[in-house]
């Protein structure tokens, strides 16, 4: 079908790149605190690629 699947963290990363949210990591960890499971390591790797972590 040619559909590309994007997960929640991918959507948050795109929103950060487009300036729709101020912080990918804050949004991700906030969702995690609400009970949505995301790997902390994955959040940190994506945050680093977005320039949020050194």
Predicted local distance difference test score (pLDDT) of residue 41: 93
Residue 24, domain member (yes or no): yes
Residue 54 has pLDDT above 70, yes or no: no
Is pLDDT of 39 > 80?
yes
Q: What is the pLDDT of residue 2?
A: 87
Residue 2 lies in a domain: no
Helix, coil or strand: residue 35: coil
* Dist CA 5 CA 39 (whole Å): 19
Which residue range is the domain that position 41 belongs to? 8-49
Give the chain's domain count. Answer: 1
Does 1 reside within a domain?
no
Instruction: For residue 27, tell me if it sits in a domain.
Output: yes
Which pTM was predicted?
0.85
């Amino acid at each position: 079908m040619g559909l590309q699947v994007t997960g929640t963290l991918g959507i948050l990363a795109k929103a950060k790149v487009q300036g729709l949210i101020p912080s990918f990591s804050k949004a991700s960890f906030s969702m995690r605190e609400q009970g949505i499971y995301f790997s902390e390591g994955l959040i940190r790797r994506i945050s680093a690629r977005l320039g949020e972590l050194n």
